[in-house]
Amino acid sequence: MKKILVTGGAGFVGSHLCKRLVKNKNEVICVDNLYTGYRSNIYELLNHPNFQFILHDITFPLYIEVDEIYNLACPASPIQYQKNPVQTIKTSVIGTINMLGLAKRTNAKFLQASTSEIYGDPKVHPQTEDYWGNVNPIGIRSCYDEGKRCAETLCMDYNRQYKIDTKIARIFNTYGSNMDTNDGRVISNFIVQSLKNKNITIYGDGHQTRSFCYIDDLIDALIKFMRTKNFIGPLNIGNSDEFTIEDLAKKIIEFSSSKSVLVYKKLPIDDPKQRKPNITNAKKFLEWNPQINLDIGLKKTIEWFKKKLTEV
Ligand code: NAD
Ligand code: UDP
């Protein structure tokens, strides 16, 4: 039985990962400071004999014994990571140094949850892993984008200097159950607005694009990536079907039989105009391909939010 640490394990992605790893008969330690995560996301695991929750901030050292580390801790929604930008960058830089230090001491494999944001507002489309990106180093998104870029550098240097088996997963927009209703990301915002028949808030003209990956597909890829040996990547992980934000809004209105109407708001600063991963490498090296298309994934996610909203 492997002992696996998931930092940020009470968040959206982390909670799904913890559940899958416990299901796969691993011993899982979830570390989270509950900044954007919730105990309710891991509620069904709390009494499981192979699961342990530690309330801890990874910007402080952690002394435990583990075989694998998934470093997911970091708020992912622009609204959340911009609330306390200094803490965001500390989490990606100091937190990642602490977790890589733990990997070094325990000789654990280490997977970093990086992001498509490291490409910034990309001038190469679709984005391939060899593209270095177009990132504003001093803007309001920089605490997240540059923090994650630095975390990638750290993974490369700990590999070159200390031979740690690090892996860099560049995750593109992912959605599904356990997203926070107030998280501010586009899919959760639009679904909650639709289900409440409120105005759908499109930022800008809605012609900007994103490619959305269903959570189960992402979890499959992360676990397959961790199983590789001495393979760092970086690897793009996402769904390569590209949609405008306006199209996304229309689908969500249709699938939730909503009376909502679209309203157009100011586009946030440095909001990327287009995003679509080239996933040739993930397909080849992980033998992985996303299985859930946007229509199916949205319908499942809408059902989950419907239940969630009736509980509140
Ligand atoms: P999330 O905000 O739901 O989860 C992040 C978790 O990390 C939360 O539980 C939060 O409390 C915890 N956390 C934050 N700072 C911490 C700290 N200093 N110490 C301990 N715990 C801390 O976000 P998510 O969508 O689950 O994203 C998980 C990871 O995946 C993040 O690193 C994010 O950058 C990356 N990612 C996510 C997406 C996506 O679309 N969801 C896309 C690209 C990258
Ligand atoms: N967006 C929007 N309305 C919302 C929330 C987001 O139009 O209520 C837009 C946002 O400006 C961006 C896209 O949707 O162009 C994706 O935003 P999100 O915050 O989900 O992720 P990111 O910008 O990090 O890809």
* Ligand 2 centroid to residue 266 C-alpha, Å: 11
Q: Is the pLDDT of residue 90 over 70?
A: yes
Is residue 300 assigned to a domain? Answer: no
* Average pLDDT, integer, range 66-91: 97
Residue 275 · residue 209 · CB < 8 Å: yes
Ligand nearest to the CA of 92: 1
Is residue 75 a contact partner of residue 35, using CB atoms and an 8 Å limit? yes
Task: Decide if 262 is inside a domain.
Answer: no
Average pLDDT along the chain: 97
Q: Tell me if 200 is assigned to some domain.
A: no
Ligand 2 atom closest to 203 (CA): 7
Measure the CA–CA gap between 267 and 272, rounded to whole angstroms.
10
Residue 269 lies in a domain: no
Q: Can you give the pLDDT at residue 46?
A: 97
Pick the catalytic residue from 70, 119, 144, 214.
144
Q: Which atom of ligand 2 is nearest to the CA of 193?
A: 8
Residue 117 belongs to a domain: yes
**Number of residues written out for the chain:** 312
Indicate the top mutation candidate among 114, 185, 212, 298 to test ligand 2's pocket, ranked by most ligand atoms within 8 A of CB. 185
Which residues, judged by CB distance below 6 Å to any ligand atom, belong to the binding site of ligand 1? 7-8, 10-14, 31-37, 57-59, 72-76, 91, 95, 113, 115, 171, 173-174
Question: Which atom of ligand 2 has the smallest separation from the CA of 200?
Answer: 8
Run of H or E including 236: strand 235-237
Q: Report residue 310: phi and psi, to 5°.
A: -80, -20
Of the pLDDT bands very low, low, confident and very high (cuts 50, 70, 90), residue 136 is very high
Ligand 2 geometric centre to CA of 185 (Å)? 6
Evaluate if residue 274 carries a pLDDT over 90. yes
Atom of ligand 2 lying closest to residue 78 CA: 19
Q: Give the global pTM.
A: 0.98
Q: What is the CATH number of the domain that holds 99?
A: 3.40.50.720
Mutate to test the pocket of ligand 2, among 200, 245, 263 (most ligand atoms within 8 A of CB): 245
Phi, psi of 165 (to 5 degrees): -80, 80
**Helix spans in the chain (H):** 12-23, 78-83, 85-90, 96-106, 142-162, 186-195, 215-227, 245-255, 280-286, 294-311
The answer to whether residue 188 scores a pLDDT higher than 80 is yes
162 is catalytic: no
Q: Which residue's CA is the nearest one to ligand 1's atom 44?
A: 115
Confidence band (pLDDT; 50, 70, 90) for 4? very high
Residue 12 confidence (pLDDT): 98
User: Is the CB of 302 inside a 6 Å radius of any atom of ligand 2?
Assistant: no
The answer to whether residue 120 scores a pLDDT higher than 70 is yes
Ligand having the closest approach to the CA of 248:
2
Q: Is the pLDDT at 312 greater than 70, yes or no?
A: no
> Is 204 inside any structural domain?
no
- Summarize the confidence of residues 113-133 as an average pLDDT: 97
> Is 53 among the domain residues?
yes
C-alpha triplet 20, 195, 79: angle, nearest 5°: 65
Q: Is residue 235 part of a domain?
A: yes
Q: Is pLDDT above 70 for 292?
A: yes
As a whole number of angstroms, the distance between CA 112 and CA 73 comes to 9
- Among residues 178, 277, 285, which one has the least CA distance to residue 226? 285
Q: Tokens 């309203």 label which residue? A: 263
From the list 141, 81, 148, the residue with the least C-alpha distance to 114 is 148
> Does the beta carbon of 28 lie inside 6 Å of ligand 2?
no
Structural domain including 70 reads 3-179+211-241+274-292
User: What is the phi/psi pair of residue 198, to 5°?
Assistant: -95, 170
Q: Which residues are 169's β-sheet partners?
A: 113, 235
* pLDDT tens-digit series, residues 239-260: 999 999 999 999 999 999 999 9
Confidence of residue 73 (pLDDT cuts 50, 70, 90): very high
- Overall number of domains in the chain: 1
Cα(209) to centroid(ligand 2), Å: 9
CA dihedral sign, ordered 129, 135, 140, 145: positive
Percent of the chain clearing pLDDT 70 (strictly above): 100
Using a 10 angstrom Cβ sphere, with 0-12 exposed, 13-18 middle and 19 or more buried, the burial of residue 257 is exposed
How far apart, in Å, do the first and last CA atoms of the chain sit?
38
What pLDDT sits at residue 311?
Answer: 84
